[in-house]
Structure 1
Amino acid sequence: MKLRDFLIGVATGLAAAVIVKEASEKVSPYVPAGQVLENIKKEFKKDSPIDGSWIFMKTDNFSNGIMTIPVYRGGISRLHEGEMQTFEFAADARSGVVVELQEV
């Protein structure tokens, strides 16, 4: 095998990988809802055990008065110091960052 043929193969493989990556991001630019929930649960577990959790799999629009972003909405319940606490959250669907958290 010639070096030239090998380098053409490597270049073709890299180009195909870039094209597939770009196409997959255009199809679904959002972080999976399950992964977002798992990350939020992991942070809550650092403080106390979780009793229950939920997340809507479809995105919703969240506006802070300046901009509107797609978010996943969900909730966490936990037993903290003998008292049940329930939180609802909104997490950015593109990055998974919590943009709103309130105790209900």
Structure 2
Amino acid sequence: MKIRDLVIGVTVGFAAGYAVKEACTSKSVSPEKALKEVKSNVQNKIPVNGSWIHMNPEHYEKNDLDYDVYRGGLSSHEDGQTKQHDFVVDAKTGTILELDKQR
């Protein structure tokens, strides 16, 4: 075996290992993308006029499970009144964990 073949094999191995590591590491959803997902998921039920989201994830526990979440809110105009809806969305997946209507 030549040294050149050994160096090529090691280089390819390291590159493949690095690519697999990067693909497997769980990355968080950006707050902007999470807000966009929430709005698109509720648009059929809530006519959204405005929205906001906290940019820093926080720790959240629900049903004895721990999450890193973004908190945010939506405003809508329903029945002649402006209504506020608070939401909690998983920072890793973008899944809505809670959606509450303020009275």
In structure 1, stretches of 5+ residues that fail to align are none
What is residue 86 of structure 1 aligned with on the other side?
84
Listed one character per residue, the Cα deviations across residues 33-65 of structure 1 (whole Å, up to 9, x for unaligned) are: 100100111122223432110001101111125
Normalization by structure 1: what TM-score?
A: 0.72
Q: Per the alignment, do residues 52 and 66 of structure 1 end up closer, same or farther by CA in structure 2, a change over 3 Å counting?
A: same
Q: d(CA) in 1 for partners of 2:46 and 2:61?
A: 30
Across the two proteins, how many residue pairs are aligned to each other? 92
Q: TM-score, normalised by structure 2?
A: 0.72
Q: Distance in 1 between matches of 2:66 and 2:91?
A: 12
* CA distance 1:71–1:82, shift in 2 (3 Å): same
Q: Aligned residues: percent identity?
A: 30
Using the alignment, how far apart are the partners of 1:48 and 1:59 within structure 2? 25
- CA RMSD, aligned part only? 2.5
Shift of the 83–58 alpha-carbon distance from structure 1 to 2, 3 Å rule, reads same
**Alpha-carbon shift at residue 99 of structure 1 (Å):** 0.8
Q: What residue number does 2:97 align with?
A: 99
Q: Which amino acid aligns with 2:35?
A: L
3-state secondary structure, aligned to 1:46: coil
Shift of 1:79: 1.3
Q: Does 1:34 align with 2:28?
A: no
- Spell out the pairing of 1:10-29 with structure 2 (5 A cutoff): 12=12, 15=16, 17-22=19-24, 25=25, 29=27
Summarize deviations over 1:67-89 as a string: whole Å, max 9, x none.
22110000001112433221001
